Amino acid sequence: MNGPRRKRLKRQLESTIIHFDYDCFYASVFEREQPRLKALPLAVQQKQIVVTCNYEARRRGLYKLQLITEAKKVCPDVVIVLGEDLTRFRNASKQLYGFLSSFSWNSRCERLGFDEVWLDVSDLVDNNVTTLNLSNLSNSFFRLSKHDPTVGFQFDATNYAGPVYPETPNETQAVTISHGLLHFRLLLASHLAQHIRQKLEYDLGYTATVGVSTNKLLSKLVGNLHKPNSQTTLIPPYTADHDEWDNVTPFIDDHEVGKIPGIGLKIAQKLRRHVLQRPADFNAGLVYGGTKEDVRVRDVRTYPDMGPDVLERILGGPGTLHGIGTRVWDLLNGSDDTAVSQAREVPRQISIEDSYIRLDTIDEVVKQLRVLAISLLRRIRTDLVEDGQEPTEDSAATSRPITQRWLAHPKTLRLSTRPRPPQNPDGSRNRSFARISRSAPMPNFIFSLKESIETLADRLIRETLIPLFKQLHPEKQGWNLSLVNLAATNMVEGASEKGGAGRDIGKMFSRQDDVLAPFRVRDGPAQGDMKHVAEEQHMAGEHAEQLQIRAKPHQYEPKFSTSRFGSEDVPTPSQEYDTDIDIDDTREEDNDMLDADTYRCDECGAVMPLFAMGAHERWHIQN
Q: What is the pLDDT of residues 104-137, one digit of tens each?
A: 999 999 999 899 999 999 999 999 999 999 999 9
H-helix or E-strand containing 598?
strand 598-600
Position 182 pLDDT exceeds 50:
yes
In the chain, % of residues over pLDDT 70: 71
Q: Which amino acid does the sequence have at 116?
A: E
pLDDT of the residue at 471: 93
pLDDT score, position 179: 53
Mean pLDDT of the chain: 78
Instruction: Report DSSP state, residue 205.
Output: S
CB 161, CB 230: distance < 8 Å: no
pLDDT at 623: 55
Q: What is the pLDDT of residues 359-391, one digit of tens each?
A: 999 999 999 999 999 999 999 998 898 865 444
- Pairing of the two strands 231-234 and 208-213: parallel
pLDDT of residue 2 exceeding 50, the answer is no
Per the model's pLDDT, the better-predicted residue between 448 and 171 turns out to be 448
Identity of the amino acid at 596 = A
Task: State residue 430's pLDDT score.
Answer: 67
- CA-to-CA dists, residue 258 to 128, 293, 327, 517, angstroms: 38, 11, 15, 67
**pLDDT given at position 285:** 53
Burial of 66 (0-12, 13-18, 19+ CB in 10 A): buried
Q: What is the CA radius of gyration of the chain?
A: 28
pLDDT in tens, 315-370: 988 777 788 999 999 999 999 999 999 887 788 889 998 888 889 999 999 999 99
Q: How far is CA 160 from CA 15, 48, 176, 220, 507, in A?
A: 18, 44, 11, 18, 50
Instruction: State the pLDDT at residue 158.
Output: 93
Q: CA 449, CA 381: separation in Å to the nearest integer?
A: 8
Decide: helix, strand or coil at residue 105.
coil
Q: How confident is the model at residue 265 (pLDDT cuts 50, 70, 90)?
A: confident
What does the alpha-carbon distance between residue 536 and residue 556 come to, in Å, rounded to a whole number? 36
DSSP string, 530-569: HHHHHHHHHHHHHHHHHHHHHHPPPP------S-SS-SSS
Domains contained in the chain, CATH given:
17-332 (3.30.70.270), 350-622 (3.30.1490.100)
- Is there a contact between 545 and 505 (Cβ–Cβ < 8 Å)? no
Query: Is this structure's pTM higher than 0.85?
Result: no
- For residue 358, what pLDDT is reported? 86
* Per-residue pLDDT at 428: 65
Residue 591 pLDDT > 50, yes or no? Answer: no
Q: Identify the pLDDT of residue 86.
A: 86
pLDDT (mean) for 585-592: 28
Verify cis geometry, omega within 30 degrees of 0, for the bond prior to 228.
Answer: yes
Asked if pLDDT for residue 604 goes beyond 90, the answer is no
- Listed residue (304, 268, 317, 308) closest to 288, CA to CA: 268
pLDDT band at 622 (very low <50, low <70, confident <90, very high): low
Q: Indicate if the pLDDT at residue 563 is higher than 60.
A: no
**Mean pLDDT across 86-108:** 92
Pseudo-torsion of CA 36, 41, 44, 47, nearest 10°? Answer: -140
Please tell me what DSSP assigns to residue 289.
T
Cis check for the bond before 166: say yes or no (omega within 30 of 0).
yes
Q: Find out whether 461 and 373 touch, Cβ atoms under 8 Å.
A: yes
